[in-house]
Structures are given as structure tokens and as C-alpha cells.
Amino acid sequence: MTSFVLKRPKYLVGNKPFSRLPLKERAIFVLHMAGFTCRDIEKVLSGTSRSAISRWIVNGYGEYTD
């Protein structure tokens, strides 16, 4: 039986732009940039409040627009 090993894609290794945010914030910011609304993201990530999602989206914009 072959075991599955999850490896980070080459474009995420090192000091790349999306590596500046923590993983969960990065995922939320990418979903937002793909067109998901806060309500959509809240449904996908059950247990995460809409205010936290909004805050992380703002953090993402702050990180990438400076």
C-alpha cells in the first residue's frame, strides 16, 4: 500500500507573497478573491464567525496593498 504525502507546491515554498499570511487567513483571502462572499466562506468553514472572516479579509488586503 502506498502512503499519500502532501507536499507544498513549489510556488508556495519560500518567501512568496501568499506565505506572508497564516494558512487559515490565506485560505479565506484566496476564497474571497475568487468571488466567495463572507456568508459563503462561513458556510464552508463552519464554526468560523463572519466577523473573524471579515477581519482576515481586511488583513489580507492590508498585507497585499502596501
**Residue-wise pLDDT tens digits, 12-60:** 555 566 677 888 888 898 899 999 999 999 998 888 899 999 999 998 8
pTM of the model: 0.68
Residues 6+ apart with CB under 8 A from 31: 40, 41, 44
pLDDT of 65 reads 72
